Amino acid sequence: MPTQTGAQAQSLCQSCGVVVPSELMLCESCERLLPLPDRVSYFEFMELPLKLDIDLAALEKTFYRLSRLFHPDFYQNRPNSEQRAALERSATLNKAYTTLKDPTRRAEYLMKLRGFEQSTEKNRVPQDLMVEILELQEQLEEFQSSEGGERERLAQALRAGVCELKERRAELGKRLEDLFPIHDRAGEDRRAEILLEMRETIDRSNYLFRIVENIEKTLESGR
């Protein structure tokens, strides 16, 4: 079980006094659940090294295995303190799994852990898409005030535009995941640079998502 934070404080089971591995905080001797110490990262919690290129099938297996250990269903006949610990632990597990299984959320979580808070201008129109997006926005405004055949023509143009933007987003998603193994292999010196590129990729993807959402909503509601 790899951990990256060096000096791990060992914990003792309050019930039987046995040393408990701090990632699990489940006493293997008497099976009691201990409160989880603060600041256990989702990576540690899911028994993973601090890397972005991960095996999703293995992650799911870990999720199921830990669910079987921590779910409140299995602690209903235990003292209140343990019921409480199981509830909190399960909540953490569910959040850890949801965060790590999604590439974007995984990357953002790792950036936060690394203290990489740098952000690009979130609402800036990506330069290479500027012309396209401005055109779509114009069409959207025209659509809202148009009628009949003209309206239908604009709707079709907008749908085609949305398709294209979705493709662009898919490319960005792929680019992000291509960066993962590069990040994992990189030394300290190159890390910031790669994280920055990931940040930009995510921000652009989010920007496109908002545009797509906005157009689809308008097409759906007709206004």
Partner 1 sequence: MRTIPILGRRESGEPQGPIVGIDLGTTNSLVAVARNTRPEILPDELGRRLVPSVVSLDENGRFLVGHEARNRLESHPLDTVYSIKRFMGRGVKDLAAMKSLVPFDFNTDESDIVRVRLGGRYYSAPELSAKILGKLKAQAERALGEPARAAVITVPAYFNDSQRQATKDAGMLAGLDVRRVLNEPTAASLAYGLHEKKNGLVAVYDLGGGTFDFSILKLEDGIFQVLATHGDTHLGGDDFDRAIAHRVLADHHQATGLAVEDPATLQALRLAAEELKQRLTDSERAELEFTHPGIRYRRTWTRVELEELIGPFVARSLACCGEALRDAGLAAGRIDEVVLVGGSTRVPMVRREVEKLFGRKPHSELNPEEVVALGAAVQASILSGQSRDMLLLDVTPLSLGIETYGGVVAKIIPRNTTIPTSATEMFTTYVDGQTSVDLHVVQGEREMVSDCRSLARFQLKGVPPMPAGAPKVAVTFMLDADGILRVEARDERSGKEQFIEVRPSYGLTDGEVERMLKESFEHGGEDLEKRLLIEARVEAERVIRAADKSLADSAELLEPGEEERIRAAIEELRRAVAGENRDRISESQTALDTASRPFAERQMNAALRGMVRGKGLEAAVEKAGAWGKNG
Whole-angstrom CA distances from 164 to 167, 175, 209, 210, 214 are 5, 17, 12, 14, 15
Query: Which of the residues 25 through 54 are near partner 1 (CB under 8 A)?
Result: none
Of the listed pieces 12-20, 85-93, 133-141, 205-213, which binds partner 1 according to CB under 8 A? 85-93
CA 189 to chain centre: 25
| Residue 104 in contact with partner 1, rule: CB under 8 A | no
> Out of 78, 105, 153, 175, which residue is the one contacting partner 1 (CB under 8 A)?
78
Question: CB of residue 72 vs partner 1: minimum separation in angstroms?
Answer: 5
Segment contacting partner 1 (CB under 8 A): 88-96, 133-141, 165-173, 203-211?
88-96
Residue 221 in contact with partner 1, rule: CB under 8 A: no
161 touches 139 (CB < 8 A): yes
From residue 114, alpha-carbon distances to 108, 169, 188, 215, 216 in Å are 10, 26, 11, 36, 36
* Residues forming a β-bridge with 153: none
Bridge-based pairing state of the strands 19-20 and 11-12:
antiparallel
CA angle 120, 110, 22 (to 5 degrees): 155
Instruction: Classify 84 as helix, strand or coil.
Output: helix
Report in angstroms how near the CB of residue 2 gets to partner 1 at its nearest.
Answer: 25
Among 3, 21, 71, 157, binds partner 1 (CB under 8 A): 71
With binding defined as CB under 8 A, does residue 74 bind partner 1?
yes
Q: Which is nearer to partner 1, 86 or 154 (CB)?
A: 86
**In the structure encoding, which two tokens stand for residue 88, read together?**
């909190």
The least CB distance from residue 102 to partner 1, in Å, is: 11
Whole-angstrom Cα distance, residue 112 to residue 100? 13
Q: Is residue 190 part of the contact set for partner 1 (CB under 8 A)?
A: no
**Closest residue by Cα to residue 211 from 124, 114, 101, 152:** 124
The yes or no reply on residue 98 touching partner 1 (CB under 8 A) is yes
Establish if 62 lies at the interface with partner 1 (CB under 8 A).
Answer: no
209 is a site residue for partner 1 (CB under 8 A): no
Which range touches partner 1 (CB under 8 A), out of 21-29, 89-97, 130-138, 165-173? 89-97
> Is residue 3 classed as helix, strand or coil in its secondary structure?
coil
Q: Which of 15, 83, 146, 206 binds partner 1 (CB under 8 A)?
A: 83
Chain positions contacting partner 1, by CB under 8 A = 64, 67-68, 71-74, 76-80, 83, 87-88, 90-91, 94-95, 97-98
